Homo-oligomer: A and B are copies of this chain.
Amino acid sequence: MQFSVTVLGSNSALPTSERNPTAQVLNVSERFFLIDCGEGTQMQMRKNHIRFTRINHVFISHLHGDHCFGLMGFISTLGLLGRTNDLHIYGHVDLEMVYRPQLNYFSKDLKFNVKFHIVNTEVSETVYEDNKIIVSSIPLKHRVPTCGYLFKEKNPELHINKSSVDYYNIPIKSIPLIKKGSDYIGEDGSLVPNHLLTKPARAARSYAFCSDTKYSEEIIPLIKDVDLLYHEATFLSDNENLAEKTHHSTARQAAQIAAKAKVKLLIIGHFSTRYKDMTLFEKEAREVFPATYLAREGATFDIPYLKD
């Protein structure tokens, strides 16, 4: 029951020799979700041993090149690998307008469909849902229409109270339904209410991805109490004016959002190329929110499965 985020790129738009543009992979019980896809994402996936075939859903925050210029290469490679499953891409309405012509030109012979799903970046809405997870959009404030994504586990199963189950002599075949909340009804019609057989489910795990955005407290209700928050931190406070002007955030501002939303852990990234010493970002953010970590290429942040 894994729930972990691997960082494939931590940098902002200008390339460096050490850092890559934004891309992350969320692993939910071996279902992989690609979040943003800057240039070189497919090479980063190779380096980090992420299997291309495991990715069926791609979420794009906005149409700036450092968040989507890796899409065509990634899709072309899926074609070369002989993929047949549909690929679903979520993003602003312009995404299909920009990429469909390229797909038609470069990838005429794909054996799978690329399905674009329009995300309204202005309001929070459910974007994707399956039996394990629900994904919703987080409207952000950037120079072009932008949204983050909130990934939240769905309905964790109730824990079985073993002594009660033994006491009431519940057959094993009835356990799965009881874990989902059903009462037990015996063959003689007798009923044992669910609350006598179970203990509360563990909390649903959650990850909020917020890039790119200027400081905005409007997102706080949407990301409240998440286990893990990624919030962009393009600048240090010495460039707070520049952050404001370019609709980006400072490390301190990211930490302030994390503190106000009472998240458990904060990852910061999207560092401006002007900075060479990334530990300064960590230092600045930790003054406000101690549980801050840097998005470094290849780093994996695991949200543990807590039984109680």
Contact = CB atoms under 8 A, between A and B. Distances in A.
A102 B106 CA distance: 14
Interface string A108-147: 0000000000000000000000000000000000000000
A2 to B, nearest CB: 22
Contacts of A36: none
A160 to B, nearest CB: 44
A53 to B, nearest CB: 13
Given A39-B39, A63-B105, A17 B69 contact: no
Interface stretch (A71-79, A229-237, A251-259, A262-270): A71-79
In terms of DSSP, what is the predominant structure of the interface of chain A?
helix
A211 interface: no
Contact of A42 (B39, B72, B105): B39
Contacts of A69: 39, 69, 72-73, 76
A189 interface: no
Q: How many copies does the complex hold?
A: 2
Interface in A1-59: 13-17, 20, 39-40, 42-43, 46-47
Interface in A78-98: 80-81, 94, 98
B65 A43 contact: no
Nearest to A105: B98
A221 interface: no
A171 interface: no
A42 B63 contact: no
A43 B20 contact: yes
Nearest to A39: B73
A77 B14 contact: yes
Interface of A: 13-17, 20, 39-40, 42-43, 46-47, 63-65, 69-70, 72-73, 76-77, 80-81, 94, 98, 101-102, 105-106
Given A15-B46, A39-B40, 5 more contacts: A16-B43, A16-B46, A17-B43, A39-B69, A69-B73
29 contacts: A13-B77, A13-B80, A14-B80, A14-B81, A15-B43, A15-B46, A15-B77, A16-B43, A16-B46, A17-B46, A20-B43, A39-B39, A39-B40, A39-B42, A40-B40, A40-B43, A63-B105, A63-B106, A64-B106, A65-B72, A65-B106, A69-B72, A94-B105, A98-B101, A98-B102, A98-B105, A98-B106, A101-B101, A102-B102
